Chains A and B, each alone.
Chain A
Amino acid sequence: MITWNRAYRGAHLSLSQRRWLSKLTLERLATRPVQSYISTSNNPYLNLSLEHYLLQKSSPESTILLLYVNRPSIIIGRNQNPWLEVNLSLLSPAPRAATNSEPELAGSFLGAVDLVRRRSGGGTVFHDEGNVNWTVICSSKTFTRDKHAEMVTRALRSLGVERARVNERHDIVLDQGERGGDVVDGADMHVTPFTRQNAASRPLKVSGSAYKLTRQRALHHGTCLLSSPNLNVIPHYLHSPSKPFMSARGVESVSSPVGNILLENEEFMGAVQKQFAVMYSESRATELQEVGLEWLENETVGKGYDELNSLDWTYLQTPQFNVSNAADALASTDVQFTVRNGTITAGVLRSRNNSAFSQLGEDSVGTRLHEIAAWSTALPRMFTGVDRAECDKLATWLESVLPPSHKTAGHS
């Protein structure tokens, strides 16, 4: 695991670029009753750390809005399994799998995509420049799951997006199909003129939500697909080839068809900010405060950033799961691993043709799954007395199901 010390983090910025943040400024900012922030950075680790800082440090009765856009990255939920949710082989800068199986998509696969585990619950999402993230932090006393989803829907409708509504899962969807004949209450954010019980096509999801609740504060953040250029590629990233072979505890993603709203980022952010001000500010307007890389100076933000960036956090926070090739009819040897906290705790190879059998070597217990560079070399070390050819076959299978990660710790 590579940790980046604080001096290095902003080192590439020139002195004029780095805006020094005094401690008093931060503390003062955190006490105002209504705060509105926009991030100048597209670094997902930084933006999530800023969010977390605001959750922890803001005064208990304050209400905060934060808006940010991330560079292409995949954000998994607090307790999810990256091997199960994400096609990890596509994340490395040189995607090999793509060119063989999907030649038509080869050109459109993106370069380096960050993998980030956030601190709130929920499922896996893909962020890019066409997606705006919004976060509202408020007192837990006044929190409801719908409150701010409704606020964002109001913002969308104010921009002419009349198909937008909040569904039962607190997501924002666009109703498809023809306008219905019934008159609909304009102030109801849960129904549109297009909503119908047996719609011909499912509504398109444009925003997903996740929450983090502490004793006094509630954080609700969501995405909003405005104009992503990657909609046809995203399903490949979020479909893992290991799904049939893993049994896992933890929250699984619920996938829905998605669509772009087709608005500009600035338009949307302005509208959300306006709705936020109307809801919370006496003057019905708030001053939008920019936040960015300079906030890494702050010790709390810096610590959170380091943690999110670390491979330990990303991979070792995975709940227990089992990998087994029992579902693979073509294999001649069964392989099974138990992985706990991202490390292999048990493993066994069993031949399907005879009674040959090999247990995971003691030295290999505790191997971190994300640190395996190549299965072809790792597998023979883990299991002794196994036929070389069988080993190679299994290694090939494992390379596709548990792809070795070529990623090092995130770059700032």
Chain B
Amino acid sequence: MSLSRLAPRRALQVYASATAQPHNARPLFHRKLHASPRLDVVRPFLLADIGEGITECQLIQWFVQPGARVEQFDKLCEVQSDKASVEITSPFDGVIKKLHYGPDDMAVTGKPLVDIDIQGEVGEEGGVEESVEDVVRAEGGGELDAAELDAAATTTQERGRQHGSRQSKEVMGSLATPAVRHLTKEMNVNISDVQGTGRDGRVLKEDVHRHVSQQTQQTVPQQQQRTGLPATREDKKAPLTPVQTQMFKAMTRSLSIPHFLYTCAADMGAITSLRKKLNVRAEPKLTHLPFIIKAVSLALRHHPLLNSSLDTKDPKKPELTYRGAHHFGVAMDTPSGLLVPVIHNVQDLSITEVAARLLQLSEKARNNKLAPSDFSSATFTISNIGSVGGGVVAPIITEPQVGILGIGRSRMVPAFDENGQLVKKEELVLSWSADHRVVDGAECARCAERVRGLLEEPGSMIMGMR
């Protein structure tokens, strides 16, 4: 008996019944509107029947931990039954919620192995329920009538995951979902002509669109990452990493925000000498980042517009919400790429506490232990690229925020003091981007100047502290 042939099908069949969709009474496809924010939909993934009359197998090792993001076909664990050691892969994208067994435990076939939280972009795409229905139907026979396909095609926007149907009906056998196949028919494109960029060379909707636009326009020469490559060097296609996929989705949404950039340079001399004094005894050593974070929080009290959220779900009726708390996302460069964990309630934290939280988060980020709650509810973002370098930067706002602060690297520059004498000053460039749909230049400038004032005269920060 083929294990792998059975496993995804069985698992999905079982899980389909777990969602209690009566197959004989198929409902008319309807869009579900979710006014509430993201639904956490947790699906148990059952251990598939391996055949050979085996009822349990031993769990050898886990490749994931609760909180880890997985994509479809990522390795979850390895189990062993008599003579076979089997790698079990994830049936869908999501976040691991719970492992039902520890290493060396005997896992029972047909019982839950792991719980996976299918976090889709629930708000924008109109509901995880319908995407789950897609999966159920796609695997349940591949027969979707035109109406359902249309709806599926329009509601499932660009997504990293593909619910590849094993039984490919095309003679070519290229991998693509029914939705994508329908699109190729609509656009009169031969699916085997399209270069797939999804996992395992799957053809995605973006690929079809790109193929079509390439046909109609002049062929744009391929952008080489490095110029001057000899012709014999081979290109290498790579699927986007999970972090890149998230970044892609988020930044694509940010394209609709009209950014303006305001930069100012702060004299960090006072902060630096304060830090030097404190670091004699402070453990761990303070950097300038906690000071900047607290200064921004103090300034935002006077400029709450920059801490607000803009909801543009209905383009005709944009909603602006002034957020009460200051939750700052702090961009971090980790081994897996750019992550933005959040420090919650900065308005209630002292500078030392902010520093401690920063350390905690960067530890967790380095060890891949960040949980979804570490990423939620940011109201403003601070991106310190100064650890790497940079002067003026133009950071990109993540919606629904309306502002972001980019920090470069501080350096010594020549300047004039109040007597006209040439002195050395430590200058740090602060680059503010704001959403010009709600924030005007003057407001942003005033906030930026206030932060600069607080940093150049730390005493004034003490005056403003609660």
A contact residues vs B (CB 8 Å cutoff): 60, 77-79, 119-123, 140-145, 169-170, 209-216, 218, 249-251, 317, 319-320, 340-341
Contact A213 B87 (CB under 8 A): yes
Contact B2 A210 (CB under 8 A): no
Contact B106 A143 (CB under 8 A): no
CA distance A319 to B58 in the complex (A): 9
Chain A residues near B81 (CB-CB < 8 A): 121
CA distance A214 to B4 in the complex (A): 7
CA distance A78 to B2 in the complex (A): 20
CA distance A340 to B80 in the complex (A): 18
CA distance A78 to B5 in the complex (A): 23
> How many residues of chain B get a CB closer than 8 Å to chain A's CBs?
23
Distance in angstroms from B54 CB to nearest chain A CB is 11
Known: A79-B58, A121-B80, A319-B104. A216 touches B85 (CB 8 A): no
Distance in angstroms from B237 CB to nearest chain A CB is 14
Partner of B4, one of A78, A215, A249: A215
Known: A144-B2, A319-B104. A251 touches B84 (CB 8 A): no
Known: A319-B58, A319-B103. A145 touches B85 (CB 8 A): no
Interface membership of B187, Cβ < 8 A: no
CA distance A317 to B83 in the complex (A): 17
CA distance A249 to B4 in the complex (A): 25
Distance in angstroms from A338 CB to nearest chain B CB is 12
Distance in angstroms from A312 CB to nearest chain B CB is 13
CA distance A319 to B200 in the complex (A): 34
A-B contact pairs, 30 of them (CB 8 A): A78-B78, A78-B85, A119-B85, A120-B83, A120-B84, A121-B81, A122-B83, A122-B84, A123-B83, A140-B3, A140-B4, A141-B2, A143-B4, A145-B1, A145-B52, A211-B83, A212-B84, A212-B85, A213-B4, A213-B85, A213-B86, A213-B87, A214-B86, A214-B89, A216-B4, A218-B4, A249-B58, A251-B58, A319-B58, A341-B103
Contact A144 B85 (CB under 8 A): no
Chain B residues near A60 (CB-CB < 8 A): 200
Contact B106 A213 (CB under 8 A): no
Supply 16 further A-B pairs (C-beta < 8 A) apart from A77-B80, A79-B85.
A77-B83, A79-B60, A120-B83, A120-B84, A120-B85, A121-B82, A123-B83, A142-B2, A143-B4, A145-B52, A211-B83, A213-B85, A215-B89, A218-B3, A249-B58, A249-B104
Chain A residues near B106 (CB-CB < 8 A): 249
Chain A residues near B3 (CB-CB < 8 A): 140, 143, 213, 218
Interface membership of B73, Cβ < 8 A: yes
Distance in angstroms from B429 CB to nearest chain A CB is 42
Contact B80 A78 (CB under 8 A): yes
Closest 9 CB pairs of A and B: A140-B4, A122-B83, A211-B84, A319-B104, A121-B85, A214-B87, A213-B86, A121-B80, A78-B85
Q: Which residue of A lies closest to B105 (CB)?
A: A249
B contact residues vs A (CB 8 Å cutoff): 1-5, 52, 58, 60, 73, 78, 80-87, 89, 103-104, 106, 200
Known: A141-B2, A141-B4. A251 touches B82 (CB 8 A): yes
Interface centre among A210, A250, A319 (most CB of B within 10 A): A319
Interface centre among A60, A120, A209 (most CB of B within 10 A): A120
Q: Which residue of A lies closest to B4 (CB)?
A: A140
Distance in angstroms from B35 CB to nearest chain A CB is 38
Contact B104 A170 (CB under 8 A): no
Distance in angstroms from A62 CB to nearest chain B CB is 15
Chain B residues near A214 (CB-CB < 8 A): 4, 86-87, 89
CA distance A251 to B57 in the complex (A): 9
Q: Which residue of A lies closest to B84 (CB)?
A: A211
Partner of A251, one of B1, B80, B103: B80
Chain A residues near B84 (CB-CB < 8 A): 120-122, 210-213
Chain B residues near A119 (CB-CB < 8 A): 85
CA distance A144 to B104 in the complex (A): 26
Q: Which residue of B lies closest to A212 (CB)?
A: B85
CA distance A215 to B5 in the complex (A): 9
Chain A residues near B87 (CB-CB < 8 A): 212-215
CA distance A340 to B103 in the complex (A): 10
Contact B60 A78 (CB under 8 A): yes
Chain A residues near B73 (CB-CB < 8 A): 215
Distance in angstroms from B66 CB to nearest chain A CB is 20
Chain B residues near A122 (CB-CB < 8 A): 82-84
Chain B residues near A120 (CB-CB < 8 A): 83-85
Chain B residues near A144 (CB-CB < 8 A): 1-2
Contact B4 A121 (CB under 8 A): no
CA distance A215 to B3 in the complex (A): 9
Chain A residues near B58 (CB-CB < 8 A): 79, 249-251, 319
Known: A249-B106, A319-B58. A121 touches B5 (CB 8 A): no
Interface centre among B83, B89, B106 (most CB of A within 10 A): B83
Interface centre among A78, A142, A213 (most CB of B within 10 A): A213
Distance in angstroms from B56 CB to nearest chain A CB is 11
Q: Which residue of B lies closest to A249 (CB)?
A: B104
CA distance A140 to B231 in the complex (A): 37
CA distance A122 to B85 in the complex (A): 8
Q: Which residue of B lies closest to A119 (CB)?
A: B85
Distance in angstroms from A277 CB to nearest chain B CB is 23
Q: Which residue of A lies closest to B85 (CB)?
A: A121
Contact B5 A79 (CB under 8 A): no
Chain A residues near B89 (CB-CB < 8 A): 214-215
CA distance A120 to B80 in the complex (A): 9
CA distance A190 to B82 in the complex (A): 21
CA distance A79 to B78 in the complex (A): 10
